[in-house]
Structure 1
């Protein structure tokens, strides 16, 4: 018996990395292998991951990123310091710590309804951010409130938990607001509905003092950026920016992740 729909790419990633509960993984793999090209797709993905690891060893990537980070100099307003090359180079390193990466040009693209296969919203799961830092050639998982320093290169990832649209931004100890996703435009980005998804590129921390706090703001429907950015600017200029939520209406859900910057 053939699977009625083709396994979408986001689920293929999860099957390859084993990032599903055991029973769900077994069912998804069985469905995939019933498809005419299922086994070939899975084998191709595994081979591509191995080839990427061979081309971009994590130690070499870390050295390259560190050199690039040191070369930046402050120029007034701060854009997000990105390393687009890492959209492919960091996939294997993050996969090694069970972080599923779907690389798309504008962050996370939508999943067409006709290709969704038994999307499961876990009860009690809420949108959240995860942060990894490149250190000693490996991806280090950071905890909320972890110490960080200027020049650290971090990879942001989100869990949408079923929310359809979102924005990722940060505020720092100087009161600067930096937009991470989308990188441009006036509206929110579609979010992949399940799993953990990295942004396409790493981010180098600058020398802003005190802290760097990342926010994931989500909603069920698309929304304009300006309301969220205005809330971020309002909070960034206040002493409670390190701990208080963004002043937004209840239709938004928000999660934050703070890195504590060490003193020079």
Structure 2
């Protein structure tokens, strides 16, 4: 009989509660398991729908409680997330969606291992699990996941998240139809972002401007630190030719891997 990931482990995978290496191994097992990724997607959607229905005060209280628990478990203060667009300004449903993403990244409290855990989880990165970028558009209801080539409009508010795939360092940037390059993470080009395990939202939501045609988001990763300024120069070089920037990869050295997701811009009203 084929192995089936138990529900308790599926929940921990959905919430990113496992150490990075174990999470990578668990996700790879799900990918190989019949219907595994579909079960994970349904669990993540159920978690989002549940949180979106909570009263705003309960959402805020839960986020604050989890934040305090993480601070206590790490024995050091955690700086508040900087947002380009504050959650309160986005309205209650959007704030609930952002709160869900924050909860996913912050639920890192230690837990006693279950008996099956040593058998089910490996401690090395599993071959074939690749880093990826996730984008959700904020709506009046639950956040809407956007696939490659999804159509968007100026003013749409996006939450970017990443899955590290076991890589230790990364950066997120975008190129738009005007040839502008925006660095989304890290906050400054002094060094790459230290990646975490699980599905990790960036600390700031991002509102699309009126640049025409498209906005293409890149997630660049490595197993060692790299020069973010050099990465931005490579992005600017590609951005000089918008049609190339829409389709071709960034000109990067082989030690850096990249993935991208392109959103097609509709004219604003």
Q: Do Structure 1 and Structure 2 share a fold, with TM-score over 0.5?
A: yes
- Specify every segment of 5 or more residues in structure 2 that has no aligned partner in the other structure, as ranges: 1-11, 31-46, 60-81, 107-120
Q: In 2 relative to 1, CA 89–185 (structure 1 residues): closer, same or farther, beyond 3 Å? A: farther
TM-score, normalised to structure 2, is 0.61
Q: More helix by proportion, 1 or 2? A: 2
Q: In 2 relative to 1, CA 121–205 (structure 1 residues): closer, same or farther, beyond 3 Å? A: same
Q: Hey, what does 2:238 align to over in structure 1?
A: 235
RMSD: 3.9
- Specify every segment of 5 or more residues in structure 1 that has no aligned partner in the other structure, as ranges: 1-9, 25-45, 59-79, 104-116
Contact 2:167 2:222 in 1 (8 A): yes
CA distance in 1 between partners of 2:172 and 2:185 (Å): 5
Q: Hey, what does 1:158 align to over in structure 2?
A: 162
CA distance in 2 between partners of 1:94 and 1:125 (Å): 26
1:102 aligns with 2:105: yes
Q: In 2 relative to 1, CA 84–189 (structure 1 residues): closer, same or farther, beyond 3 Å? A: farther
- Which of 133, 139, 146 pairs up with 1:135? 139
Q: In 2 relative to 1, CA 90–160 (structure 1 residues): closer, same or farther, beyond 3 Å? A: farther
1:102 is paired with a residue of what secondary structure?
A: helix
Deviation of 1:52 after TM superposition, in Å, equals 11
1:260 aligns with 2:269: no
2:179 is paired with a residue of what secondary structure?
A: coil
TM-score, normalised to structure 1, is 0.62
Deviation of 1:99 after TM superposition, in Å, equals 9.2
Count of residues paired in the alignment? 194
CA distance in 2 between partners of 1:141 and 1:157 (Å): 11
Q: Deviations over 1:196-239 (max 9, x none)?
A: 11111210000000000000001101112111000000001113
Deviation of 1:248 after TM superposition, in Å, equals 0.5
- Comparing 123-132 and 248-257, the one that deviates more: 123-132
